[in-house]
A and B are shown apart, each in its own frame.
Chain A
Amino acid sequence: MAANTETMTINMGPQHPSTHGVLQLILELDGEIVVKATPHIGFLHRGIEKLSEHRTYHQTIPLTDRLDYLAPMSNNLGYVLAVEKLLGITDEIPERVQRIRVIMAELTRLKSHLVWLACHALDIGAMTVFLYCFRERECVTDIYEKVSGARMTSNYFRVGGLADDLPNGLEGDIRAFAESIPEHVEEYEGLLTGNKIWQKRTIGVGEISAEAAIDIGITGPALRASGVDWDLRRDNPYSGYEDYDFEVPVREGCDTFDRYKVRLDEMRQSARIILQALDKLKPGPTLADCPKIVLPPKQEVVSNIESLIHHFKIVTEGFKTEPGEIYQGIEAPKGELGFYLVADGSAYPFRMKIRPPSFVNLQGLPQMVEGKLLADVIAVIGTLDIVLGEIDR
């Protein structure tokens, strides 16, 4: 009897718990095999690039929180570094600011990877890990709250510095948290790495070769799990990353399991970087000495007329930049996050293009799932670690 070869098209999302937001996939299936996968995005498009053209440079910082809302400080960092490069004040940033930015960026990486592991494991059947990861993530959100007042949309970095210094006693909390991370990662590994079900669901699933991954533009941990030894923190250092001693985990398996291992190793390295940064953290100014650009410290605004005037002018008019264009890429938790800024000499960006890592990584999904089982689609969405906030912008 001839087999029935008719394919079936099913819709997955945008309201589906495993699509991590509002991703819609149109899947053409032959039995349980995916013949064709077509992602549809844009359900969360808020026009952040358009809005930024009508705001001063400072007013755009809160918008960047809402790109990858699981890693807001990474977005803040990418944006302020881009504006500082445009202004040519990269060398003016005080050491303490750079160290605190690194600490916060690495905490953010931990926060983002914890949510990734929690949801990824939950999607493919491991409930306990979810609870463990959210327990640790809570510590990071507490730190966020203490430095910025917000648990998710932090808006903590400023062009030329920070909104405020670290509150008293927080360094100890951060140190205790960073020191506990290796132990916690061991816990997750204990639950998953040797687990037969986990191995069956991840080993050999969603394979992509290094050449194919570079061609499709995949960056970050997903590329490093395909054997490409490239990390912007080490290779194009920014914010003083060259001062820290850390390893870049690379694996050759190209599959979901190796992407899992790479991210777990990254968490251990992040904890190392945080501890080194805390050791090197010295008292000092938290704002660059560029009075026409950088907002003066709050204490001076209420006591010094010059500072009050500067504050008033910078808040109402913004600051002007030289005409020009720059691109700044940083190693965000999910890959290369880039900001391309074009300035026309006014107080507003003429054009801001965000290069969101998730947008590009998601493009690799069809070739990772086509010809594979439907159940693998869930694993691949998880392993790509997408956030629709930055895909749709």
Chain B
Amino acid sequence: MSDQAIVKKLKAKFSSEILDVVEFRGETTVTVKKEQIVDICTLMRDDLGFNLLCDLCGVDYMGRSPRFMVVYNLYNITTKKRIRIKAPVEEKNASIDTVSTVWGTANWHERECWDLMGIKFNNHPDLRRILMPADWEGHPLRKDYPVQGPDREPYQGRLS
């Protein structure tokens, strides 16, 4: 099945949910509203055969509204096809439903996304920090988090 056919099937079922379809370097990215993300992912897995969630991550587009984007990189092991689903998440009360019920692997990816990007996953079975210490404050991959860490002078380069 070509990417167009996949998008067509998705549109047939969720026409009001799809915000944008972009093709870049031969890869298709479908942007959808976040409300029905679990249903969309279930359809992708069951009807379109995307049985492997390769990767899930958040992207911070600070200054834009909505600020965040949650990205799902999917793979179909039978047809060896990739597709990408994205869902925008607003800054205030940043949250989206968990897809760990669709793909078990999402569990740790979502924990990482919460830890580093500060996006909450509703109904997640175990939403704890994963890479940073449990008592860490802030979410390091956000664009407004300084690269040198909190409360430190920015690196000025070598002085000598």
CB<8 Å pairs between A and B, sample of 23: A42-B130, A45-B132, A47-B140, A49-B116, A49-B141, A50-B140, A54-B147, A88-B25, A212-B104, A214-B77, A217-B104, A236-B80, A324-B24, A325-B24, A325-B84, A327-B27, A340-B73, A351-B57, A351-B59, A353-B57, A359-B108, A363-B105, A393-B131
Are the CB atoms of A214 and B131 closer together than 8 Å? no
Asked if B51 lies at the interface with its beta carbon under 8 angstroms from chain A, I say yes
Contacts of A90-130 to chain B: CB distance below 8 A: none
Asked if B53 lies at the interface with its beta carbon under 8 angstroms from chain A, I say yes
Are the CB atoms of B73 and A325 closer together than 8 Å? no
Asked if B54 lies at the interface with its beta carbon under 8 angstroms from chain A, I say yes
Asked if A6 lies at the interface with its beta carbon under 8 angstroms from chain B, I say no
Closest chain B residue, CB of each to CB of A327: B73
Q: Which of A42, A54, A86, A219 contacts B131 (CB 8 A)?
A: A42
Asked if A41 lies at the interface with its beta carbon under 8 angstroms from chain B, I say yes
| CA–CA, A325 and B141, complex, Å | 18
Asked if B103 lies at the interface with its beta carbon under 8 angstroms from chain A, I say yes
Are the CB atoms of B55 and A327 closer together than 8 Å? yes
In addition to A41-B130, A45-B131, 12 A-B residue pairs with Cβ atoms within 8 Å of each other are: A42-B129, A47-B147, A216-B105, A217-B54, A219-B52, A228-B77, A235-B80, A236-B82, A326-B25, A327-B27, A353-B55, A353-B71
Are the CB atoms of B25 and A215 closer together than 8 Å? no
Q: Which of B57, B77, B84 contacts A230 (CB 8 A)?
A: B77
Asked if A72 lies at the interface with its beta carbon under 8 angstroms from chain B, I say no
Q: Range of interface residues on chain B?
A: 20 to 34
Min CB distance, B77 to chain A, in Å?
A: 5
What number of residue pairs across chains A and B have CB atoms under 8 A from each other? 91
Contacts of A74-93 to chain B: CB distance below 8 A: 85-86, 88
Task: Chain B residues near A47: list those with CB within 8 A.
Answer: 140, 147
The digit string for B31-68, where 1 denotes a CB below 8 A from any CB of A, is 00000000000000000000111110101100000000
Which 4 interchain pairs have the tightest Cβ spacing? A217-B105, A42-B131, A355-B55, A353-B57
The digit string for B118-160, where 1 denotes a CB below 8 A from any CB of A, is 0000000000011111000000110001010000000000000
Task: Chain A residues near B75: list those with CB within 8 A.
Answer: 329
Asked if B29 lies at the interface with its beta carbon under 8 angstroms from chain A, I say yes
The digit string for A204-232, where 1 denotes a CB below 8 A from any CB of B, is 00000000101111010000000010100
Asked if B95 lies at the interface with its beta carbon under 8 angstroms from chain A, I say no
Asked if A336 lies at the interface with its beta carbon under 8 angstroms from chain B, I say yes
| CA–CA, A326 and B24, complex, Å | 8
Asked if A338 lies at the interface with its beta carbon under 8 angstroms from chain B, I say yes
Task: Chain B residues near A360: list those with CB within 8 A.
Answer: 105, 108
Q: Which of B25, B54, B84 contacts A355 (CB 8 A)?
A: B54
Task: Chain A residues near B57: list those with CB within 8 A.
Answer: 340, 351, 353
| CA–CA, A47 and B40, complex, Å | 32
Are the CB atoms of B84 and A42 closer together than 8 Å? no
Contacts of A295-349 to chain B: CB distance below 8 A: 324-327, 329, 336, 338, 340, 342
Task: Chain B residues near A355: list those with CB within 8 A.
Answer: 54-55, 73
| CA–CA, A216 and B82, complex, Å | 18
Task: Chain B residues near A235: list those with CB within 8 A.
Answer: 80
Are the CB atoms of A51 and B147 closer together than 8 Å? yes
Are the CB atoms of A325 and B108 closer together than 8 Å? no
Are the CB atoms of A50 and B132 closer together than 8 Å? no
The digit string for A144-174, where 1 denotes a CB below 8 A from any CB of B, is 0000000000000000000000000000000
Q: Which of A217, A326, A340, A351 contacts B52 (CB 8 A)?
A: A217
